[in-house]
Amino acid sequence: MTGNQGQWITVDDQGRLCVPSRPVIGFIEGDGTGPDIWRAAQRVLDAAVRAAYQGSREIVWKELLAGEKAFARTGQWLPDQTVEDIRKCVVAIKGPLTTPVGGGMRSLNVTLRQVLDLYACVRPVRWVRGVPSPMKHPERVNMVVFRENTEDVYAGIEWPAGSREAEKVRAFLCEELGVCVREQAGIGIKPISRFGTERLVRRAIRYALQHGLPSVTLVHKGNIMKYTEGAFRQWGYELAAREFPDKTVTEEELENRWNGQAPQGTVVLKDRIADAMFQQALLRPEEYHVLATPNLNGDYLSDALAAQVGGLGMAPGANIGDRCALFEATHGTAPKYAGLDKVNPSSVLLSGAMMLDHLGWNEAARLVERALERTVSDKIVTYDLARMMDGAREVKCSQFADAVIERLAP
């Protein structure tokens, strides 16, 4: 796509983005409240780009279909064309998509991550000044979670209790491997590979080094699941020693060799048992900066951290691979509020700021973040925050976007 319609982003041989001044970026509105929050966020992102670059840069938006809107129009929840268009756009953003609990269609979020090999779910969690929090010191929480996106129990390799497949797997385990599994058990497989672990930990360490962050912590349950999550821990340390020997130090090396003071320009590599990490996140959050986790641990932990700074409504996220990236609101669809112009658009707004950073448009990203913080600090908020704040002015989703746009000046 060229000319007045914009140009495609490309990726060079080193995996670096080549971003034109008018890039084509895909968007998926999402289900439930998705259209409301997307309309608000799109206006803010466009206004931030105009304010930052005075017309020299512009996003050309391309709508992509997924979820309920896609099913209504095409009979498919995730059309093949949408997957192909995300690959072509290289960068896309989406609202929340419906996924039923139990039976029914498979999670569209998981499917997109696996089909596009978006192996790193990246979720920065920090407190926005003025947001109500259950914590005494939410400002101490400032972490970036790198969650492996394609393996672990989320790989979706499972069979229902009583099915032919489950009984076949159960029989194999019992007869061939001597592992007793109860009859009528649902069975799932938990794959964690060296390849999947290393590329995630590599990206986490590079992020810490690029952003001058002091530590990367491997979060695992390797004391129990020794050959999956225990291997995740071991492979992470081996990767760091092999590829970043002069840029990483372990906690043991820190104490025994460096007297507790990390050399300039290095990252301290830590590891924590998952349940202990939840406690640390509450009691000593300032000691942790980048977390690298298997899939399930990262899902739980990123949501728990978000709760400490005000909830998922304030939590951005992205799914990033080597060839494309999909930014997203991290919360659900809240269908009872669909079309009411009511809910908080901050999650998708902050994900949009992440997307601008990914493009290298850092000036516009900072405008979005500062304007959102000014708006909340002025106590102009949607209902979810207003009910927890004294003296707040409750506004609609679209009015919140108006207030953010008014505060976009550098």
Task: For residue 13, give the CATH number of its domain.
Answer: 3.40.718.10
d(CA 78, CA 69): 10
Position 128 in a domain: no
- Same domain (yes/no): 201, 183: no
CB burial string 83-102: b at 16+ within 10 A, e below: bebbeebbbbbbbbbbbeee
Are residue 41 and residue 96 in the same domain, yes or no? Answer: yes
* Separation of alpha carbons 65 and 83, rounded Å: 9
Burial environment of residue 219 by CB neighbours within 10 A (0 to 12, 13 to 18, 19 or more): buried
Of 117-126, 306-315, 391-400, minimum mean pLDDT range: 306-315
Q: Which pLDDT does position 15 carry in this prediction?
A: 84
Tell me if 299 is assigned to a ligand binding site: yes
State the number of CA atoms in the 13 A half-sphere of 81 facing the CB. 11
Which residues span the domain enclosing 59?
Answer: 1-123+312-410
Residues 333, 355: one domain?
A: yes
Rounded to 5°, the CA angle 316-56-321 comes to 35
> Are the C-beta atoms of 120 and 146 separated by less than 8 Å?
yes
Q: Does 385 fall in a domain?
A: yes
* pLDDT tens-place string over residues 259-291: 889 999 999 999 999 999 999 999 999 999 999
Residue 284: per-residue pLDDT: 95
Q: What is the pLDDT of residue 106?
A: 65
Residues 141 and 276 in one domain: yes
233 and 268 together in one domain: yes
Q: Is 335 annotated as a binding residue?
A: yes
Domain boundary among 258, 282, 308: 308
Catalytic residues: 154, 221, 275, 299
**Would you say 334 is a known binding-site residue?**
yes
Tell me, yes or no, whether 68 lies in a domain.
yes
257 and 329 in a single domain? The answer is no
Please report whether residue 129 resides in a domain: no
Same domain flag for 144 and 272: yes
Q: Judge contact between 136 and 333, C-beta under 8 A.
A: no
Same-domain status, 275 and 303 = yes
Rounded mean pLDDT, 327-340: 90
Does residue 4 carry a pLDDT above 70? no
pLDDT score at 1: 41
Q: Was 333 annotated as part of a binding site?
A: yes
Mean pLDDT along residues 127-146: 93
Hey, what amino acid is at 153? V
253, 278, 308 - which closes a domain: 308
- Any known ligand binding at 337? yes
pLDDT of residue 380: 96
- Whether 319 and 340 map to the same domain: the answer is yes
Residue 144: how many other CB atoms lie within 10 Å: 22
Number of domains in the chain: 3
- Taking residues 350-365, what's their average pLDDT? 96
Global confidence as pTM:
0.91
158 and 299 share one domain: no
Express each pLDDT in 161-176 by its tens digit. Answer: 999 999 999 999 999 9
Query: Residues 228, 180: one domain?
Result: no
Point out the domain boundary residue: 308, 343, 369. Answer: 308
Q: Are residues 185 and 196 in the same domain?
A: no
